[in-house]
Structure 1
């Protein structure tokens, strides 16, 4: 089995070297980049399993890059940044990052977070099932696309896809916030709750839901969410 590939984007040579050494010692393959332009060119040659992205980049706005990666790439995205405010963490998660690690950090923590991101989807995803049909929609998780009955396609991010897949794998069952956090990770407390609210809101919008009376993703106040509908995987 090929070792998972981690792409590291950080303009500090010491950070790149420290992360690369720790990850390769833990059995990962790594590729390091100092600039966003080099990083984006590298993505065209090889698709990583995880992207570690610093927000303070010399040639690109880090948050804008994270948002585009979330929409276009299938890799998990973990922000590594010195920005420690709750607002910064929430913004990063809202824009599509899967996790947020604050500098300074212990490399062992980064390795553990990456392992957690790679392990959970593989353990919980339906084997070989990449498409699900429900309520006139088709979700294609290999392409990160929703297709309506008329054939119109709407892209969704990796982070939105994780939430959607969680719902589609447990239709007509209550999913609590604690269960979502256990399954998806992405930090804790206020930042996790806010990120989930945003992702679910965006999914509802893409599914054409009435925000005041959604028919598919129902909020059970004080308990969690229920996805209503029949789901067929293929």
Structure 2
């Protein structure tokens, strides 16, 4: 089996070296880049499983790049940055990042976070990559939602993980603890905030009324229920 490919985008040579050594020792394949221009050109030739992206890049806005990656690539996107402010974390997650790691970091933690992101939700292999529900079709192989008119709306890898979890357990309560166990990541305010962001973005893409959503219902103090009828094919 081909090992997962992790791309590293950081303009600091020591950071690239440390990450490359830690990831390759853990069995991952890696490619590293110092400039966003080189990185984006490489995406025309390779399909990474995980993208590690620094925000302080010399040739582009790191947050804008994260947003494009989340919309256009199937890879998980993990920000590694010296920006430790809460607002930077929140913005990164809102733009579609799967995780946010601050510098300085422990290479072992980065490896653990990547493994958590790549871990498949329970039961994922039981279904195909296409699900139909309430006049929508979710294409997990292409990361797009298709409505009844054929119009397609892209979703990120992170949003796809949450959507698949809902679609695999329709009309069942899914607690925060179950989400954390299935999707990986450290429990706590950071995880809860990430889930809130992803669910909000999914509701928007599904045309949901945020005050009275039809499909993804919040059960306050308990979790969420997806109330649609789902057929996998």
Cross-structure match for 2:67 = 67
Structure 1 segments (4+ residues) deviating >6 Å:
none
Seen in structure 2, the aligned counterparts of structure 1 residues 212 and 181 have a Cα distance that, compared at 3 Å, is same
Which structure 2 residues correspond to residues 166-181 of structure 1 after superposition, within 5 A?
A: 166-181=165-180
CA contact (8 A) 1:86 1:191 kept: no
Cross-structure match for 2:120 = 120
1:184, distance to aligned residue in structure 2 (A): 2.3
1:124, distance to aligned residue in structure 2 (A): 4.1
Cross-structure match for 2:55 = 55
Aligned residue pairs, count: 233
1:211, distance to aligned residue in structure 2 (A): 1.7
1:127, distance to aligned residue in structure 2 (A): 3.9
TM-score between both structures, scaled by the size of structure 1: 0.95
Q: Deviations over 1:128-168 (max 9, x none)?
A: 61000001110001111111112111111111111111100
Q: Are 1:231 and 2:212 an aligned pair?
A: no
Cross-structure match for 2:105 = 105
Seen in structure 2, the aligned counterparts of structure 1 residues 141 and 16 have a Cα distance that, compared at 3 Å, is same
1:194, distance to aligned residue in structure 2 (A): 2.3
Give the unaligned 5+ runs of structure 1: none
1:187, distance to aligned residue in structure 2 (A): 4.9
Q: State the SS of the aligned residue for 1:126.
A: helix
Which whole-Å CA distance do the structure 2 matches of 1:88 and 1:189 have between them? 18
1:185, distance to aligned residue in structure 2 (A): 3.4
1:188, distance to aligned residue in structure 2 (A): 4.3
Which whole-Å CA distance do the structure 1 matches of 2:85 and 2:124 have between them? 33
1:115, distance to aligned residue in structure 2 (A): 1.4
Cross-structure match for 1:41 = 41
CA contact (8 A) 2:113 2:185 kept: no
Q: Deviations over 1:1-33 (max 9, x none)?
A: 111111000000000011101111111111010
Give the unaligned 5+ runs of structure 2: none
Which structure 2 residues correspond to residues 208-219 of structure 1 after superposition, within 5 A?
A: 208-219=207-218
Q: State the SS of the aligned residue for 1:120.
A: coil
Which whole-Å CA distance do the structure 2 matches of 1:228 and 1:128 have between them? 19
1:183, distance to aligned residue in structure 2 (A): 2.1
Which whole-Å CA distance do the structure 2 matches of 1:124 and 1:161 have between them? 15
1:195, distance to aligned residue in structure 2 (A): 2.3
CA contact (8 A) 1:99 1:185 kept: no
Cross-structure match for 2:129 = 130
